[in-house]
Amino acid sequence: MTFVDAVVIPAAGAGSRFNELGKQYPKCCLPYQEKPIIRHIVERTMHLGKEVRIITSNQEQEDAIRYALELNGKIDKEIKFFKVDLSLVQGPATSLYAGLHDLDTAIVFLSDAIPVLPDSLDHSANKVYTSIVPDWARWCMVKTVDSHSIKFFDKPQDRPPTNTAACGVYSLKNVKDYIKAFEELQHSGETQFSHVFERMQYRYGCSFQAPIWNGELLDFGTLSEYIANRSIRKERVFNNITVDDIGNNTKIVTKRSTDTAKLMAEASFIQNLPQKYSVYYPRINSIDVEKSMYTMDYIYAPSLRDIALFLDKSYETWVEIFNSINSFVRLCETSISRESSSYWGSNFLKNVERLRAANLFLPEIKDKYVRDYAFLENLQSELSARFGDSRTMYHGDLHFANMFYDFNTKQLKLVDPRGEFSGHWFYDMAKLMHSVVGKYDYIDSQLYSITSDGEAVYYDKGHEQIIKAFRDVFGEETALLKKLTASLFLTMIPLHKDNPTNMRLFYKEYERLLNAEEKTND
């Protein structure tokens, strides 16, 4: 590969398409595979230039990016920061302009896409790298005119005579001409890359090429793309969930599982609920035992996980949500089951089995097995002493990802119940707690980075408002509830055997919550 003066990364965007998450963090600082996106980009591209330049809009943004870059250890490359001139008309071309002065050549990578580089990159000409796209209307489409020039169709209203679009990687051989063209265009208010590049071609005679990007680009430009391209597991490995459009603006959900008995128990549970409980669940439309599947109505509302992690952490929103959950929990609490066997005894046996499995999948915790077993045993004794053999109606897995809230109808909807008509409402409260006070959803969604010394940094700014709303609705959690919540992190370890990092973080959460309770008692 030939080298340029600098790798330039415009990162001055406001992150408005990332909703709540974009308010808290520059999107290039969000994690992918245990590192911030910007760290991946710099590590993969820094060898192409003598230095790396990052353009930001303000000091707060620069500080956040510097912190993100240093999370995983020092980078062995000079990185310079430049700020956008706010007196200029704002846009992507303006951001790039801020970082080009005193350069002759540069290669540009946008801050919301992680590149996998092709085998070679040639900087002998100005290049706008392209990708083939089907949805031409939302892109800057690019067509090769001849060996020296290209034509742009920026977000066209009619289908252009090309299926290739600018993919966000630009090689600039004539940086000084970019600067002149941009400064001239400032008078007309144009700040798109395409307008600057066209002026470079037709006023200054710069040649441009539009080769296909032969590497790969992981696009994190929008919140939906960020979630999709991180390939976050949305359901357990033995489940498969699909959503189909059946016409008339109606969708239907199909759930399949290799565990037929569990799936059928779940479907039967929802189908046979009394009306006062069934209003909390989507309607079951069909059950097929042979195909190990059932279909149900689609819920036109976000999950509480999506609301908490990405959409809205405001106190007022979560008071409203928790009041709805409280109504469901109180309904369950007053529904005493006729079954008199100890729920907590059977739960203890399941937990011991999972603890043994956890020690197999996470060998470093073996030396704590005796302590952990004793904790579960003592917890079972406390729960049995507190609640006896009483059982109630419950959901059985009441965490944020299994709850949806419709702000228009003020309705709470639940999915993925345990499929049992008797359990205990207090267990549901612990499940809720491990989403509220614990880091369950941040770990399960891999919304963390791992530092060079192995510690997790969670992307949870603003979550304290959710905790405050929870305590104002439900009251301060008791010592017994805290212990039960801690136990959930310990016993869910074998359910995440596909992700060693998640397993370690669950164990750390178990110890954190346990230690916090012990300090309170002291």
Domains of the chain (ranges; CATH) run 4-229 (3.90.550.10), 239-297 (3.30.200), 304-521 (3.90.1200.10)
Ordered per-residue pLDDT tens for the chain, 522 residues: 558 999 999 998 877 777 778 788 999 999 999 999 999 999 999 999 999 999 999 999 999 999 999 998 889 888 999 999 887 877 889 999 999 999 999 999 999 999 999 888 888 889 999 999 988 888 899 999 998 999 999 888 899 999 999 999 999 999 999 999 999 988 777 678 999 999 999 999 999 999 999 988 998 888 878 877 775 544 444 578 888 888 877 899 999 999 999 999 999 999 999 999 999 999 999 999 999 999 999 999 999 999 999 999 999 999 999 999 999 999 999 998 887 788 999 999 999 999 999 999 999 999 999 999 999 999 999 999 999 999 999 999 999 999 999 999 999 999 999 999 899 999 999 999 999 999 999 999 999 999 988 899 999 999 999 999 999 999 999 999 999 999 999 999 999 998 999 999 999 999 999 987 666 665
Question: Residue 276 in contact with residue 269, Cβ under 8 Å?
Answer: no
Checking DSSP bridges between strand 208-209 and strand 126-132, what pairing results, if any?
Answer: parallel
| Distinct helix (H) and strand (E) counts, the chain | 18, 21
DSSP for residue 392 = B
Residue 155 burial (CB count, 10 A): 13
Nearest-angstrom CA–CA distance, 131 and 217: 10
Residue 299 has, within 13 A of its CA and on its CB side, a CA count of 24
CB within 8 Å of 454: residues ≥ 6 apart: none
Do the Cβ atoms of 127 and 210 come closer than 8 Å? yes
Give the integer Cα–Cα distance in Å for 128 and 457. 36
Model pLDDT, residue 236: 47
Residues 511 and 505: their CA atoms lie apart, in Å, by: 10
> Is the Cβ–Cβ distance between 511 and 371 less than 8 Å?
no
Q: How many C-beta neighbours within 10 Å does residue 416 have?
A: 19
As beta bridge partners, residue 6 has 51, 106
What is d(CA 430, CA 232) in angstroms, rounded to the nearest whole number? Answer: 24
CB-CB contact of 168 with 96 (8 Å): no
How confident is the model at residue 237, as a pLDDT?
Answer: 46
- The reported pLDDT for the residue numbered 235 is 44
Residue 171 contacts residue 201 (beta carbons within 8 Å): no
Residue-wise burial string across 323-358, b where 16 or more C-beta atoms lie within 10 A, e elsewhere: ebbbebbeebbebebeeeebbbeebbeebbebbeeb
Give the integer Cα–Cα distance in Å for 181 and 54. Answer: 21
Following DSSP, what letter does each residue of 480-493 receive, concatenated? HHHHHHHHHHHHTG
Q: Is 354 within 8 Å of 506 (Cβ atoms)?
A: no
The secondary structure element, H or E, covering residue 473 is: helix 463-474
Give the per-residue SS3 of 28-62.
Answer: HHCEECCEEHHHHHHHHHHHHEEEEEEEECCHHHH
Residue pair 33/60 in contact (Cβ under 8 Å)? The answer is no
pLDDT at position 342: 87
CA-to-CA distance for 230 and 363, rounded, in angstroms? 28
pLDDT at 23: 82
First-to-final CA distance of the chain: 63
C-alpha span between 400 and 434 (Å, rounded): 9
Closest CA to 209 of 134, 268, 129: 129
Round to whole Å and give the CA distance between 273 and 173.
Answer: 69
Residue pair 38/69 in contact by the 8 Å Cβ criterion: yes
Residue 330: which of 137, 473, 223 has the closest Cα? 473
Q: What is the Cα–Cα distance from 107 to 49, expressed in whole angstroms?
A: 8
* SS3 letters across 398-431: CCHHHEEEECCCCEEEECCCCCCCCECHHHHHHH
Q: Detail the DSSP E strand segments found in 147-219.
A: 149-154, 164-172, 208-209, 216-219
Q: Residue 146 forms beta bridges with which residues?
A: 149
Asked whether the beta carbons of 25 and 15 are under 8 A apart, the reply is yes
